[in-house]
Amino acid sequence: MIAIEDLVPRVAAKAKATATALPPVATAEEVAEAEAVLGFALPPLLASLYREVANGGYGPDYQLLPLVGPGRTALSEYQSERSASAEDEAPYWPAGVLPILDWGCAMYAAVDCLSESATVLLFDPNAMTDDGAAAWFVDAESLAKWLETWLAGTGWYREDADEYEDVAEPTPWEMAASRIAE
């Protein structure tokens, strides 16, 4: 198991080295307020990233969404997707799955905040049929492993990923249908 106290400083170092300017960190109060609005706690690692590294603005490609603040945030995107999903004939967004990064083309990296390991999921509505569950894939078994992939530069999203055989591709999320139905 990857220790938060070892991983967060490494993420912070890469964030500072790769971002032109990082936003300030989210305060403990802001994280607590976001959790109250969401109705669930953030996984400890995710909360630490927002409190100790920055309120978004770093990470793979399009970078982590801020948790709170003006404009698009993880909180506002979660509320928007949950609301749209509830109104859709085929619901597609499960409770407790927080979008943390917008990949573009309506795709998100999202953390299952209700899973013990903070599974990182890929939401790809382009794969959706009449079943919202078809849009969900497991990107990494845990947020820690997802971050390790970013730190190592070995993610499926990197530009030359198709040239390497050892790049793990997202797989269908087997729990999607049951979690959407909850």
Query: Confidence band (pLDDT; 50, 70, 90) for 161?
Result: very low
- Note the pLDDT tens digit of each residue in 97-141: 999 999 998 999 999 999 999 999 999 998 877 788 999 999 999
**Domains in the chain and their CATH numbers?**
4-153+167-181 (3.40.1580.10)
What's the predicted TM-score (pTM) here? Answer: 0.92
State the residue for tokens 């109104």: 87
Q: In the chain, count H helices and then E strands.
A: 6, 5
Long-range Cβ pairs for the range 166-174 (8 Å, 24+): 170/122, 170/137, 170/138, 170/139, 171/137, 171/138, 172/134, 172/136, 172/137, 172/138, 173/121, 173/133, 173/136, 173/137, 173/138
- The percent of residues in the chain predicted with pLDDT above 70, rounded, is 93
